[in-house]
Structure 1
Amino acid sequence: MAEILPLKAWRYNENLEQSIDQLTSPLFDVVSAKQREVLYLNKFNSIHLSVPTGNDPFEDAAALLQNWKDQGVLIQDAVPGIYVYYQYFTLAGASKEYCRKGFICNIKAYDWHEKVLLRHENTIPSAVNDRIDLLERTELNTSPTHGLYTDPDFILEAYMDESIKSPIYETEDYQGVRDVLAVIHDHAVIELFMRTLQNRQVLLADGHHRYEGSLEYRKKMMALNPEHTGFEPYNYHLMYLTNSEHDDLRILPTHRVLENIEMTDEDFLEKLREYFVVTPKEDAYELNEVITGKNWAFGLYISGNAYKLRLKPEVHALIEWEIPQEVKDLDLTVMHYFIFEKVLGIDREAQRTYKGLSYIRNFTECVSKVDTGKVRLALITNDVSMAQVKKVCYSGAIMPQKSTFFYPKVICGFLFSSIKEDEFVTAPAACF
């Protein structure tokens, strides 16, 4: 089902005085303001292409990209390849080292209705528009999104394991993750990768905004091209693909914080009790532990007071959203329906763009923001399992926005993928 292609990546010139770890950056949606300030000081850092600044940032990024090509800062690989990407990491409180194995390639930007690439969560419209503008001006994918294919036979892993023994790059990133990149040029092996994915659907794990940016750009270009064939470079998107059957896939929770609510703490808690069992807790730093493994359970930290919230089982059937049961059963659906819509009066559509609602992965940061008065309250949630993600994807439905955080994030700067006509491998036959 999924058509993938090798690519001739643009990569930093090996003769630059700076090492690759000085040139990489976090993805646009996770890089903090403080990180940006530091990264912008390096005139060659990839942040200038992925999160450009200025009065006309996207045009400036396009001009900078052309300058880097002209000056030899970036050089295009001469031969198309599949880029193997391994990430070695540990999790807080555990000593085990995990390894997420995958590879980077171009994949056709399938529309959702084609049921080849499946999404699992909503997007935030403003972020999609931002990615469309950047792609249109630069004709460059600055970082891969993350997709999952299912292969219980692990057909490709032996070839990736062999390739990673001869890395192009090896560095430690801002997450403390060891990132290793290698490349496969062997024609027969590349064809095996392409054939293996032909019979698979792909679940979009991370990068919904960037993927939708590519999808919308493809639609726009198709409308402008009466000779459209489906093989033009604008049809494709850069993706990091991993096997969903691996034990080392990890999904971390994404918590919610609200700057303010239009009611007193007492009124808020009273309304919550219509749907939840509300249990006070002495220590806010235990909230993530007291809900672990419990269905429809959340931590609430408001005005210095901590509570455990557990949905009353009999009220779950009151969810009126027209969504499949697989989605109704999710913790975050319960949170967004009963807390945001029923208690706070923020309807489902308004939640996607609601000002003052933020999404934070770090539990300690949530508590700190409440303690310092930056936000009024924090809602702590459990993670989502891989089985739940699959169920939702295959049901054809989507989760609330920011439902999953596949850890670790890929980094920006190892390679870039151009969709310019003369810089792209345009069809499988042209690869070789």
Structure 2
Amino acid sequence: MAEIQPVRGWRYNAELSAHIDDYVSPLFDVVSQKQREALYRNELNSIHLSVPRGEDPAGAALERLTQWQNSGVLRQDEVPGIYVYYQYFRLPGSSREYCRKGFMCHIRAYDWAENVVLRHENTLPAAVNDRAELLARTQFQSSATHGLYRDDDFELERYLDEAMLDPLYQTEEDYQGARDVLAVIQDARIIRRFQQVLSLREVILADGHHRYEGSLAYRQARMAAEPGNTGREPWHFHLMYLTNAAADDLRILPTHRLLLELPGGISDAEFLARLEPYFTLLPMDDVYDLPERIAGKQWAFGLYLGGLAYKLRLRPEVHAQLSWDTTTEVKNLDLTVLHYFVLEKALGIVGPDAQRTWPGVAYVRTFSECLARVDRQEARAALIVNEVTMEEVERVCHSGAVMPPKSTFFYPKTIGGFLFSSIRDDEHDNAFYAPFLAPGPGF
């Protein structure tokens, strides 16, 4: 199945790494404009490589990268390794500290049709092209995408824990409140065991579909230009953060739907009337009870409309009307039910493609923001949803289908600038790579 390789990581030099919080950044697709402007003011922040500015952004990133490498701002580790990455975090309303354990390495950039790396959402071509252009110009990856493998025996965790006894550096607290810690494994025997374990497994892409497809596009372009390639060239590989799907510390948060408008100028009363053939509507005295009242219930949602709260639950007999051409696993998802019976049947936004481009819906992570924006009349209504489970993600991916847009929010996000990797043509010239070009013998 999945082929992984160790990385000769590029990292901020020791002096800068001692203050790593000053140089890391949010991922390109979650960083706000306000965050960008603040980070741009630091001339050495990784935002300049991940979200470059100017008339030729990719060219600006290459120029800055070259300066940083030549001046020693970034230094490359002499020996390749598997980079252990832990994120410590808490969820709102809970005192429990979670620790998501994983590791960063290179993984072969498999085409979707090979069914080794599995996706669960579609991408936007413009964002893919942007990432592909940046990669083609710099041949450098400033952040890892997030992939999931399943190992119910938790074999690799003992090696990860051992490496974490001697960390390289850590953040005090990143932009989302998590503490990020980096360590490295450079023992060739252990690295080969990591390769063997992953060689038996598929990988589900949890986060970073646009960056991964950018790597695919770049690899396909290089293969077309160099038909005699060996398959071992560095540009065949992609930087990925791999975590165990069996771990309890893998958290997926809900993403609520905010209706910025009701098409056709329909009234609140008409909207409720259009929902009634499909849902039972239970008025609620306190809107803040909605998350608890829908928790764990299939096809149940909260609605906040005109200052009033309702619990919606699909009438079971109407589910058979869901006629989209997709798998049973996708049809059973709460969000598919919401998109079909609310957006299509009640509001007339017909089909997944039209819904994906409809400007009348926004995706919001926090319950309180949903309520506030409706109260400020920035939106007509909020639809409150439950989180997707890891089991649902796995079932959908293995069915070969994709979920509705913004179905998952894996938390916390990885950060940019914690570890960089290069896919330049000369990367594998280092003799230390030789033992890892194919998985070794039994451990």
Give the structure-2-normalised TM-score: 0.93
Contact preservation (8 Å) 1:260, 1:376: yes
Q: CA deviation at 1:425?
A: 6.9
Displacement after TM superposition at 1:373 (Å): 2.5
Q: Hey, what does 1:416 align to over in structure 2? A: 420
- The amino acid that maps onto 1:387 is E
1:429 matches 2:430: no
Alpha-carbon offset, residue 84 of structure 1: 0.3
Matches within 5 A, 1:292-307: 292-307=295-310
For residues 239-318 of structure 1, the aligned pairs below 5 Å read: 239-262=240-263, 263-318=266-321
Partner of 1:160: 160
Q: Which residue of 1 aligns with 2:93?
A: 93
Assess, with a 3 A threshold, how the Cα gap between structure 1 residues 9 and 286 changes in structure 2: closer, same or farther: same
Residue of structure 2 equivalent to 1:355: 359
8 Å contact 2:192–2:436 — kept in the other structure?
no
The answer on whether the counterparts of 2:285 and 2:309 sit within 8 Å (CA) in structure 1 is yes
Deviations 1:20-79 (A, max 9, x none): 011111111222222222111111111111112222222211211111112211111111
Change over 3 Å in CA distance of 1:187–1:326 after alignment to 2 = same
* Cα offset, 1:244, TM superposition: 1.2
> Which stretch has the larger CA shift, 219-228 or 380-389?
219-228
Q: Structure 1 residues 379 and 20, CA, compared in 2 at 3 Å: closer, same or farther?
A: same
User: Does structure 2 retain, via aligned residues, the 8 Å contact 1:2–1:200?
Assistant: yes
- Of residues 421-430 and 368-377 in structure 1, the stretch that sits farther from structure 2 once superposed is 421-430
2:327 aligned partner: 324
Contact 1:124 1:353 in 2 (8 A): no
In the TM superposition, 1:322-401 aligns within 5 A as 322-346=325-349, 347-401=351-405
Given the superposition, is the C-alpha separation of residues 119 and 300 from structure 1 closer, same or farther in structure 2, using an over 3 Å criterion? same
The offset of 1:430, in angstroms, is 5.8
Counterpart code for 2:100: R
d(CA) in 2 for partners of 1:395, 1:238: 26
User: By how many angstroms is 1:273 displaced?
Assistant: 1.2
Instruction: Tell me the residue number matched to 2:441.
Output: none
Question: The residue matched to 2:14 in structure 1 has which SS?
Answer: coil
* Deviations 1:354-380, CA, capped at 9 Å, x for gaps: 224222211111212222222222211
User: For 2:381 and 2:189, how far apart are their aligned partners in 1?
Assistant: 56
Rounded to whole Å, the distance in 1 between the matches of 2:128 and 2:259 is 23
Mapped partners of 2:359, 2:59: distance in 1: 28
Displacement of 1:264 in angstroms is: 2.1
Count how many residue pairs are aligned between Structure 1 and Structure 2. Answer: 432
In structure 2, the CA distance between the partners of 1:396 and 1:20, relative to structure 1 (3 Å rule), is same
CA offsets per residue over residues 331-376 of structure 1, 9 Å max, x none?
Answer: 0110111111222222211222222422221111121222222222
Query: 1: CA distance between counterparts of 2:176 and 2:69?
Result: 29
Q: Deviations over 1:292-321 (max 9, x none)?
A: 111101112233332221111111010101
User: SS in structure 2 opposite 1:26?
Assistant: coil
- 1:65-106 CA-partner distances (Å, limit 9, x unpaired): 111112211111111110001111111122221111110000
Shift of 1:18: 7.0
Q: Which secondary structure does the structure 2 equivalent of 1:93 belong to? A: coil
Paired AA for residue 97 in structure 1: E
Structure 1 match to 2:9? 9
Aligned residue for 2:182, secondary structure, equals strand
**Compared with structure 1, are the counterparts of its residues 248 and 46 closer, same or farther at alpha carbon in structure 2 (3 Å cutoff)?**
same
Does the 8 Å CA contact 1:257/1:360 hold for their aligned counterparts?
A: yes
**Matched letter for residue 373 of structure 1:** Q
Whether the aligned pair in 2 keeps the contact of 1:298 and 1:310 (CA below 8 Å) is yes
- In percent, how many aligned pairs have the same letter? 60
The one-character-per-residue Cα deviations of 1:278-303 (angstroms, maximum 9, x if unpaired) are: 22223333322221111101112233
Aligned equivalents of 1:355 and 1:229: distance in 2? 46
SS at match of 1:352: helix
TM-superposition CA deviations, 1:238-266 (whole Å, max 9, x none)? 10001111121111111122322222222
Whether 1:203 aligns to 2:223 is: no
Instruction: Provide the aligned C-alpha RMSD in A.
Output: 1.8
1:36 matched residue in structure 2 = 36
Distance 1:412 1:96, change over 3 A: same
CA–CA distance in structure 2, aligned partners of residues 32 and 415 of structure 1 = 21
Separation in structure 2 between the aligned mates of residue 331 and residue 179 of structure 1, nearest angstrom: 32
Aligned residue number for residue 133 of structure 2: 133
Tell me by how many angstroms 1:197 deviates: 0.7
Instruction: Report the Cα distance in structure 2 between the residues aligned to 1:365 and 1:18, rounded to whole angstroms.
Output: 36
- Partner SS, residue 426 of structure 2: helix
Looking at structure 1, the residues matched to 46 and 101 of structure 2 have their Cα atoms a distance apart, in angstroms, of 23
- Structure 1 residues 246, 367: closer, same or farther in 2, change over 3 A? same
Alpha-carbon distance, 1:112 to partner: 1.1
Partner of 2:225: 224
Query: Whole-Å Cα distance in 2 between the matches of residues 125 and 396 of structure 1?
Result: 20
Aligned amino acid, residue 2 of structure 2: A
Over 3 Å counting, the alpha-carbon distance change for 1:124 and 1:342 in structure 2 is farther
Matches within 5 A, 1:45-60: 45-60=45-60
Amino acid at match of 1:363: F
Moved more, 276-285 or 264-273: 276-285
Residue pair 1:123, 1:401 contacting (<8 A) in 2 also = no
Q: Is the 8 A contact 2:17 2:169 kept in 1?
A: no
The worse-fitting range, judged by mean Cα deviation, of 166-175 and 49-58 is 49-58
Distance 1:50 1:370 in 2: 34
The runs of 5 or more residues in structure 1 that have no matched partner are none
Letter of the aligned partner of 1:247 in structure 2? Answer: D
Aligned partner of 2:79: which letter?
A: V
Using the TM superposition, name which of 350-359 and 391-400 deviates more. Answer: 350-359
- Secondary structure at the aligned position of 1:16 is classed as helix
Cα shift at 1:431: 4.6
Asked if the contact 1:370/1:376 (under 8 Å) is kept, the reply is yes
| Cα distance change on mapping 1:98 and 1:17 into 2, 3 Å | closer
TM-score (norm 1): 0.96
Give the superposition deviation at 1:123.
Answer: 2.3
